[in-house]
Amino acid sequence: MTDASPIVRLDQLRLDRGGRTVLRDISLQVPRGSIVAVLGPSGSGKSTLLSALTGELPAAAGTVEVLGQPVPRSQRALLELRKGIGVLLQGNGLLTDLTAAENVALPLRMHTRLPAPVIRRLVQMKLHAVGLRAAADAYPRELSGGMARRVALARALALDPPLMIYDEPLTGLDPIASGVVMSLVRRLNDTLGLTSIVVTHHVHETLPIADHAVVIANGGLVFSGTPAQLQASTDPLIRQFLNGEPDGPIPFESRAFTSGEAA
């Protein structure tokens, strides 16, 4: 029997930072098996939203449920929850004095008691999944930007998390490497039975692999629907964002927070 409950459920969520409300009234359900693109201009609160999913930032109001449970407050329960969330951060976060294989092995060494030969085999499998088995003994400096991103992706997959979160996975990559990484995101999602949340302002590279898209701007969720619906939207705010125009309903120096509420 498959579990039909959403893997992430946000209800009337408000998030504050530095005494200001960054996002308000965010309600969203992420179905299992889907890829959801979270889009929005710089400073709109995308990373802030991610912090709420990993429990780094508690909700100021409303609820956040991840992997079928409210995000806990205790450090111990949070650590347990985070084992089920693979995160690919903006920088790759690879340790430069470790090889690709050693980097991928890190979470397995830290969070499991598996014997070394089993870890070696799992690492080979993860590197194979991102098409880099041959690069196991290379150091990060010997890899191209796209290859390093894929090693970081293999490391994020090390503990077989059901939920993957990608924070700006294309930053610094050329168009070819971007295409490789995005198609890998889709393939891994489908072959490993994952659910993926991709936070990015790379709209045109991300929409083709997404099942659902949300746009955050001006302190809230301004769109939620399929990529086709997003592309067809006539909302001036959405058009401004999609076309990258400086003038329109999104302020150029996007100040995502709305003043007052948490002050």
Between 130 and 257, CB nearer to ligand ATP: 257
Single residue of 9, 17, 83, 186 touching ligand ATP by CB under 6 A = 17
Phi, psi (deg, nearest 5) at residue 8:
-135, 135
Gap between the Cα atoms of 94 and 77, Å rounded? 26
Among the listed residues 45, 86, 146, 220, the single contact to ligand ATP using CB under 6 A = 45
Is 42 near ligand ATP (CB under 6 A)?
yes
Residue showing the smallest CB distance to ligand ATP in the complex: 18
Q: For the CB of residue 190, give the shortest distance to ligand ATP in the complex, in Å.
A: 27
DSSP assignment letter at 162: S
Token digits of residue 237: 């705010």
Residues in the chain: 263
103 touches ligand ATP by CB under 6 A: no
Q: At closest approach, how far in Å is the CB of 216 from ligand ATP?
A: 7
Stretch touching ligand ATP by CB under 6 A, among 2-10, 44-52, 151-159, 206-214: 44-52
- Span interacting with ligand ATP, options 16-24, 95-103, 111-119, 140-148, rule CB under 6 A: 16-24
Please answer whether residues 34 and 3 qualify as being in contact, where contact means their C-beta atoms are separated by less than 8 angstroms.
Answer: no
**Among positions 47, 195, 206, 218, the unique one binding ligand ATP when judged by CB under 6 A:** 47
**Strand, coil or helix: 245:** coil
**82 lines the binding site for ligand ATP (CB under 6 A):** no
Answer yes or no whether residue 48 interacts with ligand ATP by CB under 6 A: yes
Which H or E run includes 231? helix 227-232
Using N-to-C axis directions, what is the helix angle for 100-111 and 145-156, rounded to 10°?
Answer: 20
Query: Pairing between strand 35-39 and 195-200?
Result: parallel
- Give the total of residues touching ligand ATP (CB under 6 A): 15
| Member of 14, 32, 40, 196 binding ligand ATP (CB under 6 A) | 40
Round to the nearest angstrom and report the end-to-end CA distance of the chain.
47
**18 vs 115, beta carbon nearer ligand ATP:** 18
Beta-ladder partners of 65 = 9, 70
The tokens of 100 are what?
């690709």
**Among the listed residues 178, 167, 209, the one whose alpha carbon sits nearest the alpha carbon of residue 50:** 167
Residues 171-230 that bind ligand ATP (CB under 6 A): 201
Which listed residue (43, 62, 68, 179) binds ligand ATP by CB under 6 A? 43
Q: Which of 24, 46, 126, 149 binds ligand ATP (CB under 6 A)?
A: 46
Kindly list the distances between the CA atom of residue 221 and the CA atoms of 19, 74, 108, 176, 237, in Å, as whole numbers in the listed order. 20, 29, 37, 31, 12
Which chain residues interact with ligand ATP by CB under 6 A? 17-18, 22, 40, 42-48, 201, 255-257
